[in-house]
Structure 1
């Protein structure tokens, strides 16, 4: 007599891809997030093993806000204070950190060339922490730096070496977007940082809008990607004409509120965001803001090229221009 056994095959349903931005980030239906680039971590380094010293610090343990500090060679810091640059990395608000090789090497090169003290900020990333988390973290970092304005803050490097008459904010891509929004906050009369921001450097800024302008009309594939990105990182304000991502929109606050005295906008010829950067420069020029704005375009290069190809001549030229910006005499009020 033959016997039969009833069996049930149990198969675990595999998570599927819910959203993906090629070469940037992938999110699965179970909530897992896979970042597809710049996930490496490199340690800081101290003189004499490196020309530029660096170390890691925690700014806010509750929200896991950290930073990597950079200090130029000892002979550069002897007996005089240096400009301080607060830097915000790029990466579409969802990838990268100050601790990966690309940004560590870039800040090392910038600090060495410009002879500045730098604070490279680690802010919380989307989608786990959608906007405005990055803006909140950036403001917290700026307040932490400002707490050293009387040379009695918690970090000796800033107390001993930073000139709080020459404070700059800088960033690339999403980081440049952060710079704009934070400097706008700093310009509000109700904000009292205790220090003034002398200048802002916006490199290949991530600005966008619902109506294509300039070369965006021809960049349909790239435009579709950027159109999808903003609602992904900012679901609370998904419209691409809101003030955070489109400071040139009709109902955005006047750029005359910008809370610094000098602005340097850097754009790249082959960057889909270049026309937004140029429009920002033009809008700021005619806004009634009383500061000085300048712009520089790099021919033949694409978005954030200088972060990943430090040895090319164009990257060296751009870093030199930034160094000159950080060390130029302040314009009169």
Structure 2
């Protein structure tokens, strides 16, 4: 459809343009690539519908060189980024990234395809992520998916994600502690790459970059039209209540926070790590920061040495005893 002469209502740069007639156009994250064997990494993937009633789907990944039926590997449940409004598990940059993680760490992965705004404003993405975790839990005692039945060690399950997906991982770990499905799902750790947290009032370098701050402000208000704005607990876990007690509810043993020096979200990620260390949570927190790089650089430049180092650190976090 030709939108060149139509009047714009809201420009959610660089993701979505909304027109006054109510239609919208995604400006990024719209490309798709099919599942299958990736010749560069030797990783095999396939798409499945995991919750037919709500149409929640996922892309499953496994090393193609598994020869023994009973070879058990760690499982990573991955939530992709995209500010809750763009991208998908079939986005080439995410598909490529998960292939690289699976190959480097020698793991199984379930990449969750959650619903996006504006068709499905938040908390739809969180609800889909929760349904996906309940599905993974259901495979523990009654495995229906052959890849998981044959090759997953359910004592070594991790949550991971970048940007919005890292945010989802945090909230899923909190929810698991509070209302773990039956059978219980044990989450060893969560890996948060450039986590998407925010707040109404600037901290750190945010005050020095009003242009980018205004841009990030608009993202959240678009996907989550809440009266609490950018201090909604979904985006700002430290806006209200006893955050130390809240963080103590993380249902995992360890957390890895990965930051990028030039990322506008960097100081929020650092605050999350610092508060986690100071909280009454009993787990182990780790942090990594990549110098001179911006938000999710490893997704867009996966073959650079710094991206490879990030993937190796993530693999080490998953595989360390």
- TM-score, normalised via structure 1 length: 0.90
Q: Tell me which residue corresponds to 1:325.
A: 317
Q: Tell me which residue corresponds to 1:294.
A: 286
Q: Does the CA-based 8 Å contact 1:168-1:200 persist in structure 2?
A: yes
Q: Tell me which residue corresponds to 2:55.
A: 64
Q: Tell me which residue corresponds to 2:8.
A: 17
Q: Tell me which residue corresponds to 1:314.
A: 306
Q: Does the CA-based 8 Å contact 1:285-1:293 persist in structure 2?
A: yes
Q: Does the CA-based 8 Å contact 2:41-2:99 persist in structure 1?
A: no
Separation in 2 of the partners of 1:258 and 1:56?
Answer: 29
Q: Tell me which residue corresponds to 1:166.
A: 156
Superposition deviation, residue 132 in structure 1 = 0.3
- Stretch deviating more after TM superposition (197-206 or 39-48): 39-48
Choose from 156, 167, 170 the match for 2:146: 156
- Stretch deviating more after TM superposition (257-266 or 50-59): 50-59
Question: Could you list the runs of 5+ residues in structure 1 that have no partner in the other structure?
Answer: 1-13
Instruction: Give yes or no for the alignment of 1:186 onto 2:179.
Output: no
Q: Does the CA-based 8 Å contact 2:57-2:112 persist in structure 1?
A: yes
Choose from 95, 113, 116 the match for 1:122: 113
Label 1:48 to 1:311 Cα distance change in 2 as closer, same or farther (>3 A).
closer
Superposition deviation, residue 45 in structure 1 = 1.0
- TM-score, normalised via structure 2 length: 0.94
Superposition deviation, residue 193 in structure 1 = 5.3
Superposition deviation, residue 30 in structure 1 = 2.1
Q: Tell me which residue corresponds to 1:267.
A: 259
Superposition deviation, residue 229 in structure 1 = 1.4
**Per-residue CA distance 1:246-287 (angstroms, 9 max, x = gap):** 112232652111111110000000000000000000111111
Find the residue that maps to 1:267 and give its secondary structure.
strand
Label 1:217 to 1:327 Cα distance change in 2 as closer, same or farther (>3 A).
same
Choose from 39, 62, 76 the match for 2:30: 39
Separation in 1 of the partners of 2:67 and 2:203?
Answer: 45
Label 1:20 to 1:74 Cα distance change in 2 as closer, same or farther (>3 A).
same
Separation in 2 of the partners of 1:299 and 1:328?
Answer: 24
**Per-residue CA distance 1:187-213 (angstroms, 9 max, x = gap):** 115755521111100000000011111
- Stretch deviating more after TM superposition (92-101 or 55-64): 55-64
Label 1:311 to 1:112 Cα distance change in 2 as closer, same or farther (>3 A).
same
Tell me how many residue pairs correspond in the alignment: 315
Instruction: Give yes or no for the alignment of 1:283 onto 2:250.
Output: no
Label 1:193 to 1:255 Cα distance change in 2 as closer, same or farther (>3 A).
farther
Instruction: Give yes or no for the alignment of 1:241 onto 2:219.
Output: no
Q: Does the CA-based 8 Å contact 1:185-1:191 persist in structure 2?
A: no
Select the structure that is richer in helix.
2
Separation in 1 of the partners of 2:264 and 2:160?
Answer: 20
Separation in 2 of the partners of 1:76 and 1:280?
Answer: 41
**Per-residue CA distance 1:170-194 (angstroms, 9 max, x = gap):** 0000000000011111111575552
Superposition deviation, residue 22 in structure 1 = 2.2
- Stretch deviating more after TM superposition (249-258 or 41-50): 41-50
Q: Does the CA-based 8 Å contact 2:41-2:103 persist in structure 1?
A: no
C-alpha RMSD over aligned residues: 1.8
Superposition deviation, residue 33 in structure 1 = 1.9
Find the residue that maps to 1:201 and give its secondary structure.
strand
- Stretch deviating more after TM superposition (47-56 or 25-34): 47-56
